[in-house]
Structure 1
Amino acid sequence: MSDPVRQNYTPPELRPDALVSVGTAEEISTDVLVIGSGMGGSSLAWALKDSGLDVLVVERGHFLPREPENSQPVEMYIKGRYKNAGYWYDGSTGKPFAPGVYYWVGGNTRFYGAMLPRFRRSDFTEVQHHEGVSRAWPFAYDDLEPFYTAMEQLLQVHGQTGEDPTEPPRSKPYPYPALQHEPEIERFARSLRGQGLHPFHTPNALNISTQADRAAVTTADGCPDETGMKSDAENRLLLPALRDGVRILTGAEVTRLITSPDGRKVVAAEARHAGRIIRVNAKTFALAGGAVNSAALLLRSADDAHPQGLANSSGLLGRNYMVHNSTFFVGVNPLRTNPTKWQKTLGLNDFYEAGPGTRFPLGNLQMLGKLQAPMLKPARPWAPTWALKFMAARSLDIYLTTEDLPSRDNRVRVDGDRILIDWTPTNLAPHHELVRRVTRAVRKAGYPLIFTQRMGIETNSHMCGTAVAGHDPAESVLDPLCRSHDVDNLWVTDSSFFPSSAALNPALTIGANALRIAPSLARATKG
């Protein structure tokens, strides 16, 4: 049994006065209250650091210690060292499940694989899929492009242009050259090219230059990174913002937003902190708790002016919950080892959009960092560890993603303190076709044994859509700048606003959108 995780850890570079101590006070005040410190909250905090406003980030978790256990898969996957989100409930069965979210400063980015693609231009338009339509966004790719560029600079993204046929136009090149493939991945890339496909170097926010660096971050796709070589929301966005005047209150779970008598403004947030309830007054409130928790907070904030939940005159709050249809795909050649340390350098988008031979969009292929036996054990608990070690040493590890379409029946609900998720996957036929095509390609590349595991309701790190943005208040929760149609000083800066899920990692888009809306939020706060 490992020692408990320290709850009082603070990064050594944190200014002491940036960490708020409530003491015995029953309430505190600020200009802008940012609820959540993941990609959306930290990006907004960074964007507001020079605005002249008092910005306070409230995070229900604490700073995650930088410790040797960060990069030990046994600690992460077998002992569950950093799991702290409790349980949500399947709305159809009532069964609890442990969601794939984490309550630490930096949010899920502390555990992500730093894969930071831009959404394709088509992702912002209405797209016909096999089982329905993916909704158009209330702004275009070109509106977000300058902010994609800014986020790539902030997160120190490595990439290469000219390889991916679906690549959208760019105003500037990647700030750093792409991470090169290790030999076994280059061999796989050659095989894909020989099959007429277009593998590309993935946009990746890892600052690694030597093989020793790669070895140090082998587990960073799924585990925290104690080296600082992985760019995440904490080390690249929030800590710089905290050095420049932004403040943070940790260990504080916001439970309710309180509105003015007419319901047009939020006047305060109530939060559980150190065993009691405190009140945080602010001029502007920005939700960035993740698509489920932000929706749940608004639903729990129902009052006389908002009986269905705060900002829910459309009845769409919590609805259109989307995650990706995802499969862990492992190819094994028993006769050849794969010594790759950081595998997540290759992607494939040949099947991402409809075209010749592909009637409807299928989705994206990207490599996983590099699987190890403890990472496989939760999916195959009956398998002996020696067999999993043998398999992982000889495997090519892939993550396949297909778009999940919006449905009003897929939703977040609350029952007291319980969060219920109603989710029936959509658009599965294209996902099965993607798995079939990749199976054929991987076997041709020399990996005859194929193992797959489709992700279920608990794998929701790419969740979105529970407070969609749009022009029509009857058909959306937020306006195109992610401000509530109903409540003048309420904004949402996480992926809740996504009208569609696309089929790519959402982190860069979340951050870029937060930069896009920050000037409007600052102007509104100043009046």
Structure 2
Amino acid sequence: KLDAESAALAVALKFENVSLVTNAMVERLIPAPDGRRIAAIEYVKGGELRRVTPAIVVLAAGAVNSAAILLRSAGGPCPNGIANRSDAVGRYFMQHNSTALVAIDPRWRNDSVYQKTLALHDYYFDDGEGGPPLGNVQLVGKVSGPVFKAALPYVPGFALDWLASHSVTWGAFSEDLPDPESRVRVNGRTIISDWRKTNLAAHQRLIAKMKERFRAAGFPLVLSRAWDQRTPSHQCGTVRMGADAANAPLDIWCRAHDHENLFVVDASFLPTSAAVNPALTIAAQALRVADHMIRTEFHA
């Protein structure tokens, strides 16, 4: 399998004009006096505060940290934070409503080592009865006894080994809808998450539907447990894109409405969360934004 390191970073580092600074932490972005551009980036490496002055800044620290960096950069012409004229930075925080489903059949043994990947989208667009969309369900891989132990520390190991060998584990995911009061804030170096869950009725309906289907398929016992904030699923939305600068920090090319040389290209830009892993959507948008940058910023 390819990942960002092997498919992109390792290739980029072969060019003489590409360098990578590791073991460093970005402190803040510094705007120009008129606020229209980002003039510099301050970061700490080895206990020393350093500064770089790029022509173009691409922020891709993830939905939580990208928002935190922008908010921590408040000051001067940007009293509410960088790219935050709309007061939307940090708001609309979303992560999928997620639940683990363990379908158990004592009469059957699951001997898989590398379990197949399978996803069910039967209820993605509606509930099968003309009602609202519920979400998707997918296998989460072969779960072993020790993995179950992390979630169920009070259960004896032999019982969890038995459970792992007589079950199939699924993940159920439903969309978390955008809410401006669901947000990430900062207090100095501390990041504060105030996640306001939405669409829970649809998620509970999805779980009930799938329990019915698993029992009908021959699994007499189906257990479920919600994944809470300790196991986040696909955080997004905190630096959303939109055509109106009054409501969104970024335009459709992930360029900040307020700063012509700042792009934010990670899960932050997503205005909605859908009910599937957004990784490929983010990668596709990154390629699209890069092509746009080549046409508009590097034509000279």
TM-score band w.r.t. shorter chain = over 0.9
Work out the CA distance in 1 between the residues paired with 2:233 and 2:90. 16
**Alpha-carbon shift at residue 524 of structure 1 (Å):** 3.9
Show the 5 A alignment for 1:388-467. Answer: 388-467=160-239
TM-score (normalizing by structure 2): 0.96
Partner of 1:259: 31
**Cα offsets for 1:315-344 (capped at 9, x unmatched):** 111000000000011111122111122224
Work out the CA distance in 1 between the residues paired with 2:44 and 2:165. 46
Q: Equivalent residue of 2:168, what SS?
A: strand
Write the letter of the residue equivalent to 2:93: Y
Work out the CA distance in 1 between the residues paired with 2:214 and 2:114. 19
State whether residues 326 and 455 of structure 1, in contact with CA within 8 Å, keep that contact through their aligned partners in structure 2.
yes
State whether residues 96 and 233 of structure 2, in contact with CA within 8 Å, keep that contact through their aligned partners in structure 1.
no
Q: Does 1:273 align with 2:45?
A: yes
State whether residues 122 and 128 of structure 2, in contact with CA within 8 Å, keep that contact through their aligned partners in structure 1.
no
Identity value in percent: 45
Partner of 2:253: 481
Structure 2: segments with no counterpart, 5+ residues:
none
CA RMSD in angstroms comes to 1.4
State whether residues 323 and 404 of structure 1, in contact with CA within 8 Å, keep that contact through their aligned partners in structure 2.
yes
Structure 1 counterpart of 2:58, from 264, 281, 286: 286
Work out the CA distance in 2 between the residues paired with 1:240 and 1:394. 44
Partner of 2:2: 231
Q: Equivalent residue of 2:180, what SS?
A: coil
**Alpha-carbon shift at residue 440 of structure 1 (Å):** 1.0
Partner of 1:240: 11
Work out the CA distance in 2 between the residues paired with 1:408 and 1:344. 39
State whether residues 483 and 489 of structure 1, in contact with CA within 8 Å, keep that contact through their aligned partners in structure 2.
yes
Partner of 2:85: 313
Write the letter of the residue equivalent to 1:492: V
Work out the CA distance in 2 between the residues paired with 1:306 and 1:369. 46
**Alpha-carbon shift at residue 252 of structure 1 (Å):** 1.0
Partner of 1:301: 73
Write the letter of the residue equivalent to 1:241: A
Partner of 1:342: 114
Work out the CA distance in 2 between the residues paired with 1:270 and 1:489. 16
Residues 273-282 or 464-473, more deviating: 273-282
Q: Equivalent residue of 2:68, what SS?
A: helix
Partner of 1:374: 146
Q: Equivalent residue of 1:243, what SS?
A: coil
Work out the CA distance in 2 between the residues paired with 1:477 and 1:346. 37
Show the 5 A alignment for 1:83-98. Answer: none
Partner of 1:190: none
Q: Equivalent residue of 1:390, what SS?
A: helix
**Alpha-carbon shift at residue 231 of structure 1 (Å):** 2.4
Q: Equivalent residue of 1:248, what SS?
A: coil
Structure 1 counterpart of 2:285, from 513, 518, 522: 513
Work out the CA distance in 2 between the residues paired with 1:292 and 1:342. 32
Q: Equivalent residue of 1:331, what SS?
A: strand
**Alpha-carbon shift at residue 355 of structure 1 (Å):** 6.7
State whether residues 100 and 226 of structure 2, in contact with CA within 8 Å, keep that contact through their aligned partners in structure 1.
yes
Write the letter of the residue equivalent to 2:231: T
**Alpha-carbon shift at residue 501 of structure 1 (Å):** 0.1
**Cα offsets for 1:463-493 (capped at 9, x unmatched):** 1000110101011110011100001100011
Structure 1: segments with no counterpart, 5+ residues:
1-229
TM-score (normalizing by structure 1): 0.55
Work out the CA distance in 2 between the residues paired with 1:251 and 1:469. 30
Structure 1 counterpart of 2:94, from 316, 322, 325: 322
**Cα offsets for 1:50-89 (capped at 9, x unmatched):** xxxxxxxxxxxxxxxxxxxxxxxxxxxxxxxxxxxxxxxx
**Cα offsets for 1:3-50 (capped at 9, x unmatched):** xxxxxxxxxxxxxxxxxxxxxxxxxxxxxxxxxxxxxxxxxxxxxxxx
Q: Equivalent residue of 2:100, what SS?
A: strand
Write the letter of the residue equivalent to 1:504: V
1:507–1:374 Cα change, 3 Å: same
Write the letter of the residue equivalent to 1:455: W
